[in-house]
Amino acid sequence: MRKIKYLFAFSAVALLSLTACNNNKNPYETLPEETDEELIEKIDIVESIVDPSKEEDEREYAIYGNVYLPDEIDGAKLSWWSSKPKIINPKQSGDIVPGEVNRPSEDTDVTLVAQIEKDGNKTKYEQTVTVKAAAPEIADKDYKGYLFCHFTGQEGNTSDEQIYFALADNGQGLKFTDMSNSPALTSNVGDQGVRDPFIYRSPEGDTYRIIATDLSVKNRGGWTTNHNYTRKGSHSITLWETHDLSNWGEPRLIEVAAPDAGMAWAPEMIYHEETGQYLIYFSSTICNEDKSEILWRDCIYYTTTRDFVHFGETKKFFKNQPYPAGQTDPRTNAPNAYNNDERKIIDASVIKIGDWYYLAAKDGDNHEDGGILVSRTQDLLDIESWDDDFQFHIADLGLTGAPCDLNNKQLEGPEWFHYNVADREDPDTDEIGLMGDMYMRGGGYLPLSTTDIEDRTNDNQSWKVLGNSDYSWSGLTKRHGSIMRLTQDEILAVKEFYNK
């Protein structure tokens, strides 16, 4: 009797295990293989970062973040199955669309199968990818230095409009040293020049990207043809990617602006946790069909992506701010735009703190009243959600000690960043930096700091301008760049990049 009971118990467990396995049985296993190579190429999931040490046919199907699992391509409907749905989820999960990746403790192969339904026929495409082991978590205290990514703001040589790095080493605070007088990265695509670079670490912690304006003023003949820049500029931005801060590979163009856009300037990105995708936002105009006139003045737009290969629809991100009632653009040669009663707005930067996203942007062109505007929202995808009652200009904080006026006539390219623990007045209190590019002085970046972005009247004295002894930029001019905090290992990786 004991033996029978034992066998019965064992059989029940086995049955439960078998049922569990069957719950994730590939429902598309018996379908014929898809043979349309063009369609397969669009479905294929690949690592967007090409290892420069390997040939193209040796590319690894390594997954470091969420993947793009489309539900429709060229009229074909797609349904997905994953052999390990806890690692790659093929289904919608709340607001997060299919393709959410939870990296395991070790490299793991996952098979993805797409059922393809087109013209009444059903086929399948099967692919196995390797999901990389989760990177070690980076704690706040682990950050020891800063990397400043910038261009020089000159247009005398083609090398001026390229990517430069300056490093604030461990223990140096915001004292930056140029890594080289030569560009760290050079664009050979598009305009073959870049401006306004932004560097960003993925939420997984081990992928780094630089995006920049695809523009060479030098190659286009100088600023005297400025009217062409905001009407007939590139719709793409330039992208570099790496997993180690040492092997950046080749740049590539990614198209982000709408077909009727005049340009895509000063791009930045932020990971949107709510939907598991990146938002790339940038400044653009909207033009008529032959790009001879600007219909809508400079404003902030965005697109979304998971893999930096496939992109969502381009939409408006943040609205222009209106002139006082009855006023319009004061220029005599102002464009005949629909919104000449609104100021230009460019150079957006966004940081998330708690449940709020905070934006800083240059509100107003050089000739307009305005300033570095700060706003907030809890929903980046809803342009109506920005809190108009919260908005303020940095110039209205009553700060003293700055070498220039803190308005849009003196500052642009605002950039948020977190201070490292060792560089805060109180190590236990988060301190946020906001840099402004002193473009009219050619004096590089002016850093501000705050322990409370929401202290919009500075009644609590949470905002301050850093003194000259608190920062330095070394020799090269620092124009419209960005800061990324570094761990000690990352500091060594940046130095290795220059020692090759």
pLDDT at 15: 40
Choose between 226 and 460: higher pLDDT.
460
**Residue 69 is encoded by which pair of tokens?**
């699992």
In terms of C-beta distances under 8 Å and separation of at least 24 residues, what long-range contacts does 132-138 make, across chains too?
132/62, 132/63, 132/64, 132/103, 132/107, 132/206, 133/103, 133/104, 133/105, 133/106, 133/107, 133/108, 134/103, 134/104, 134/105, 134/204, 135/103, 135/204, 135/205, 135/206, 136/205, 137/205, 138/205, 138/487
pLDDT at 57: 58
Count Cβ atoms within 10 A of the Cβ of residue 444 and give its class: 0-12 exposed, 13-18 middle, 19 or more buried. buried
User: How far apart (Å, rounded) are the C-alpha atoms in residues 493 and 486?
Assistant: 10
Q: Which residues are CB-contacts of 7 (< 8 A; sequence separation ≥ 6)? A: none
pLDDT at 156: 82
Average model confidence (pLDDT) across the chain: 91
pLDDT digits (tens, 9 = 90+) for 121-143: 999 999 999 999 999 999 999 99
Q: Which residue has the tokens 């029978």?
A: 4
Q: Quick one: CA torsion of 221, 314, 481, 233, rounded to 10 degrees?
A: 0
The model's pTM is 0.93
**Residue 60 is encoded by which pair of tokens?**
């690894």
What does the buried/exposed string (b/e) look like for 32-45 if buried means 16 or more CB atoms within 10 Å of the residue's CB?
eebeeeebeeebeb
Where in the chain are all domains bearing CATH 2.115.10.20? 140-499
Maximum Cα interatomic distance, the chain, rounded to a whole number of Å: 101
pLDDT at 370: 87
pLDDT at 475: 87
* DSSP code of residue 2: H
Q: Give which of 349, 397, 395, 399 is closest to 376, Cα–Cα.
A: 349
pLDDT at 222: 83
pLDDT at 19 over 60: no
Q: Which residues are CB-contacts of 279 (< 8 A; sequence separation ≥ 6)? A: 269, 270, 271, 272, 302, 303, 304, 317, 380
pLDDT at 53: 53
pLDDT at 368: 87
**Residue 430 is encoded by which pair of tokens?**
């988060």
Q: CA-based angle 349:353:356, to the nearest 5? A: 80
The arithmetic mean of pLDDT across residues 468-483, rounded, is 90
User: How far apart (Å, rounded) are the C-alpha atoms in residues 189 and 212?
Assistant: 12
User: How far apart (Å, rounded) are the C-alpha atoms in residues 500 and 487?
Assistant: 21
The arithmetic mean of pLDDT across residues 92-110, rounded, is 95
pLDDT at 21: 47
**Cα 472 vs. chain centroid, distance in angstroms?**
26
**Cα 221 vs. chain centroid, distance in angstroms?**
29
Helix (H, G, I), strand (E, B) or coil at 239: strand
Count Cβ atoms within 10 A of the Cβ of residue 426 and give its class: 0-12 exposed, 13-18 middle, 19 or more buried. exposed
pLDDT digits (tens, 9 = 90+) for 301-333: 999 999 999 999 999 999 999 998 889 998 888
Helix or strand run (H / E) with residue 129: strand 121-131
140-499, what's its fold? Tachylectin-2; Chain A (2.115.10)
pLDDT digits (tens, 9 = 90+) for 230-284: 999 999 999 999 999 999 989 999 999 999 999 999 999 999 999 999 999 999 9
pLDDT at 315: 98
pLDDT at 86 over 90: yes
Choose between 170 and 442: higher pLDDT.
170
User: How far apart (Å, rounded) are the C-alpha atoms in residues 352 and 120?
Assistant: 46
Identify any residues that bridge with 360 across adjacent strands, giving them in sequence order: 349, 374
**Residue 454 is encoded by which pair of tokens?**
């929401």
**Residue 357 is encoded by which pair of tokens?**
């996203």
User: How far apart (Å, rounded) are the C-alpha atoms in residues 500 and 496?
Assistant: 6
The arithmetic mean of pLDDT across residues 337-343, rounded, is 95
Identify any residues that bridge with 182 across adjacent strands, giving them in sequence order: none
Q: Which residues are CB-contacts of 12 (< 8 A; sequence separation ≥ 6)? A: none
pLDDT digits (tens, 9 = 90+) for 368-389: 888 999 999 999 999 999 999 9
User: Percentage of residues in the chain with pLDDT exceeding 70?
Assistant: 93
pLDDT at 52: 54
Please provide the distance, in angstroms rounded to a whole number, between the alpha carbons at the two ends of the chain: 74
**Residue 180 is encoded by which pair of tokens?**
């080289």
pLDDT digits (tens, 9 = 90+) for 412-433: 999 999 999 999 999 999 999 9
Q: Which residues are CB-contacts of 493 (< 8 A; sequence separation ≥ 6)? A: 244, 245, 246
